[in-house]
Amino acid sequence: MRELFELLGIGLGTIPVGTKVEKIPFRLTLPEWERIRECSMKQGVCAIALDGLNSLSSVYGQAICNGASPEVWQAFVLEWIGYMMNAEVENQHQKEVLNQMANLWIKEGCRVMVMKGQANGLWYRHPNHRSAGDIDCYLFDDYARGNEIARKAGATVDEGWYKHSQIIYKDETFENHKFFVLTRKGKESKRLNQELVDALQVKSWNYFPNSSIFVPPPQWNAMFLTFHSCAHFLTEGLRLKQLLDWAMFLQHEQDHVDWPDFYDFCERYHFRRFVDSITCICVEELGIEIMNDQISTSSPYKEKMIHSILYDDDYVYGTNEGTWQRRIHVIRNLFAYRWRYRDIYQQSIWKQIWWHISGFFLHTE
């Protein structure tokens, strides 16, 4: 399954494809290719893996598959292309609806920042191949007004959760963020959220293509991507989709980040071992070239992280589990994968359980 990393690097354009058949990177049976495709779908990187497959095929043809007839191999690839085309259609529709909703907000004087999925996709060679999720937005001081504007436009707005509202508009789901962090998890989480808010006090902005929508500044993205992916790692495991976002961020923004300040941030919030681990994977397994000598690229936890990404069966969100089932699943993961807290996060799982319970009952956001 480690071949998937090389395939993704080829798909991202960070690992070059050879030009001689005798130097073929790897040759797999059809069942092995099927397992790679299945894993890429589970990990949210199906279209990018296909980009890698197409690049390999353009040089080596069917030699990359051992034992399958041309007809069977072609049917397998065409089915994979169908999955990629679905991703492209979903992304394009999401962009159109994002612009429509954002224009409603902007027309009413709101500032709009798109974050995570669609914003991260801008770093990719093929942005529409980055797996789409929900549309995450931040409206600065206009959280409540943004909900009301969406409601008047015919959207369904659910304000039942304190961190963000959920807005359903033209078959797309928006998360309008009031907080970036689960602030009910204690004073440290509140400080972290405030640091992220403060990092948005910038003089100039970059924009989402052909729009007046802000995209996050690089320093904020370094902080948020690290926090967000580490939070997923601790509760339900890291996915390749999140790892690739960090890889593409490093490739495009490594010279636009104050790295000493960023690493101070990581030390304050226990992210240092985590970010060193994922950076190491990006460099050694995905072919990301680091030219900035302020960036740490080594970690003793790389292999353990890779094994966790590929094989831990811990996914919680996006399943059909109910609210209480998900909460129990998160707690169960705390004990089943406690090494994540001990070795990487360097915090006690009992502290985390306490904040989960106290936050739920006391609502101390």
Give the number of other CB atoms < 10 A from CB of residue 213. 23
3-state secondary structure the chain: CCHHHHHHHHHHCCCCCCCCHHHCCCCEEHHHHHHHHHHHHHCCCHHHHHHHHHHHHHHHHHHHEECCCHHHHHHHHHHHHHHHHHHHHHHHHHHHHHHHHHHHHHHCCCCCEEECHHHHHCCCCCHHHCCCCCEEEECHHHHHHHHHHHHHCCCEEECCCCCEEEEEECCEEEEEECCCCCHHHCHHHHHHHHHHHHCCCCCCCEECCCCCCEECCHHHHHHHHHHHHHHHHHHHCCCHHHHHHHHHHHHHHCCCCCHHHHHHHHHHCCCHHHHHHHHHHHHHCCCCCCCCCCCCCCCCCHHHHHHHHHHCCCCCCCCCCCHHHHHHHHHHHHHHCCHHHHHHHCCCHHHHHHHHHHHHHHCCC
Output the pLDDT for position 167.
98
Tell me the per-residue pLDDT of 26-81, one tens digit each, with 9 for 90 and over.
Answer: 889 999 999 999 999 999 999 999 999 999 999 888 989 998 899 999 999 999 99
How confident is residue 129, by pLDDT bands cut at 50, 70 and 90?
Answer: very high
Output the pLDDT for position 110.
98
Output the pLDDT for position 209.
94
Q: Out of 183-192, 204-213, 341-350, which region has the weakest mean confidence (pLDDT)?
A: 341-350
177: β partners: 138, 164
Tell me the per-residue pLDDT of 209-225, one tens digit each, with 9 for 90 and over.
Answer: 999 999 999 999 999 99
The answer on pLDDT for 362 being more than 60 is no
Name which residue leads in pLDDT, 63 or 136. Answer: 136
Token pair of 301 as six digits: 């936890």
User: Which residues, at least 6 apart from 334, have a Cβ–Cβ distance to it below 8 Å?
Assistant: 341, 349, 352, 353
Ordered domains of the chain (ranges, CATH): 1-68 (no CATH), 89-181+203-216 (3.30.460.40), 217-365 (no CATH)
Output the pLDDT for position 5.
95
User: Which residues, at least 6 apart from 73, have a Cβ–Cβ distance to it below 8 Å?
Assistant: 30, 62, 65
Q: Out of 96-110, 271-285, 348-362, which region has the weakest mean confidence (pLDDT)?
A: 348-362
Dihedral, CA of residue 300, residue 306, residue 311 and residue 316, to nearest 10: 100
